[in-house]
Structure 1
Amino acid sequence: MNQRILFSGSKKFRRILNQLTCHKVLRSELINIAITEFQLSEKQASELIDRGVYQLKQQRLVRSDGRIKNISYLFSFGVINLQPLHTVNAEELVLCSERERLEKELTLIHYEQEAYQELLEKIPKQKLKIMKLQHDTAEKLNQLNGKLRAINQLLSM
């Protein structure tokens, strides 16, 4: 019997499912994956997992087992092995890697801005030079933020 599984869960929940290596997993493991993958708080991660599991339960694609604080989920083979959930197109990979590169560069620029501020306090005689460098860095920061925003908008579509 080859049934088509219609799973319209969130992209984040699907990314979590893509990381599963077996069909039975503890709820706490799913929450930990969500926390590390998306830098969420524990409450946000548990809500994300609960929404995704609820959608799958409505379609009878997951069963839960265990007691509070030790719940495990048994996912249907169609959910874990479903190819459309696991395929990521090349453009999305390019955009994700570009986003990571931009985020790292933005972090460096923030540190650079902090360093210029410290230098202004330590070397007030070089104020004009430091202010010029600080202005150039602020301009680059704005450009990178614009690029990052465009990439995030593309990825969210």
Structure 2
Amino acid sequence: MWSIRTAKYKVQITDGEITSVTVELIEDGVTIHRRTITQEEYQRGNVSSSVQKLAWNDFLQVLQVFMLGNNQEQESDIAHAFKILDQGKRGLYNQTTRLSDGLISPDELRAFLSTLTDEYRVDLCVFLADTGGSGQINLPEFTRMVKSGLARDII
């Protein structure tokens, strides 16, 4: 028998700013995982990546896409989350330039996921999502990963 998994994504707003987010994974009507992350906790946390940690608002946008899976408000939300994760930053003459390569590397994904889950799950996520075998995730693979619920379940 197949189980039905859904997710909830709730933000706490204080003085017009999002100060925390609660994500909840529900299976067959029963909450199996719930986690609240405050902005302060996120800012304090370290990432196990050579890529810079996402800004709080970018983190929230990507997290919402991961949690909502196939129930996105707009299809473009998935593409926007992909662009946020595809950091591809390179330094030249002491200036950082954003050179998106159209792929999310394991390190770029780790910059987002390492605050939510362990290293093993990040690598597993890339392994399962990368159907082309490139070791990176392109937009169609990312879209499938989100819509299938893999992104939600990995958290």
TM-score, with length taken from structure 2: 0.28
Larger Rg computed on CA atoms = 1
The answer to which structure has the higher strand fraction is 2
